[in-house]
């Protein structure tokens, strides 16, 4: 996240996104660990990493409220606010991770990055949506870190042979 924040100092935090973070994540992993082979956009997941410890599957979720500006620089509104749409996307991703990938891939991680605060007064914040996540099935392990204006949550997702309802659906609703 430090690389991302250095980049954000040059371009503005609201001009960063998931793809930039993913590229910086791969660069840091390659320089720190070595011997990794990356495959991006693998079977609808962000990264498959082949390592000496076996395959690792990673999905990134990067939530940031961004201003939309007109040509004259006047703010026209905002995009990407916290709310039910982002939360639904997040929980569908957790369920997809638990049920869809190859069973041989036991190491499955969802990396969630979100801005702690925004420049507007939202009805709901990303911290309200994701700040209290914990290790509850199918989330096996859980780590959190805060750096500057960003929060990170790394979730290890347990694979399972079927979805939580046993009826072939992956739709998960959260309050």
Structure confidence by residue, pLDDT tens digits, 31-44 = 999 899 999 999 98
In which domain, by residue range, is 61 found?
2-157
> What confidence score (pLDDT) does residue 101 get?
72
122 within domain boundaries: yes
124 within domain boundaries: yes
Contact 108, 156 (CB under 8 A): yes
Q: How far apart are CA 13 and CA 9, in angstroms?
A: 7
- State which residues of the chain have pLDDT below 50: 163-175
Give me the residues paired with residue 153 across strands: 112, 144
Count structural domains, the chain: 1
pTM over 0.75: yes
Q: What is the largest CA-CA distance in the chain?
A: 53
> What confidence score (pLDDT) does residue 171 get?
47
166 within domain boundaries: no
């Amino acid at each position: 996240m430090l690389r991302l924040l250095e980049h954000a100092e040059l371009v503005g935090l609201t001009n960063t996104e998931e793809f930039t973070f993913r590229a910086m994540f791969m660069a840091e992993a390659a320089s720190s660990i070595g011997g990794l082979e990356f495959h991006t956009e693998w079977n609808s997941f962000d990264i498959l990493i082949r390592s000496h410890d076996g395959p690792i599957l990673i999905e990134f979720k990067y939530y940031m409220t961004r201003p939309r500006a007109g040509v004259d620089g006047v703010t026209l509104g905002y995009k990407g606010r916290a709310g039910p749409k982002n939360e639904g996307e997040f929980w569908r991703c957790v369920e997809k991770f638990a049920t869809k990938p190859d069973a041989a891939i036991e190491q499955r991680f969802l990396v969630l990055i979100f801005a702690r605060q925004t420049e507007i007064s939202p009805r709901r914040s990303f911290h309200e949506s994701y700040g209290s996540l914990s290790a509850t099935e199918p989330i096996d392990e859980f780590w959190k870190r805060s750096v500057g204006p960003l929060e990170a949550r790394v979730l290890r997702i347990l694979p399972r042979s079927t979805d939580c309802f046993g009826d072939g659906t992956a739709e998960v609703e959260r309050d």
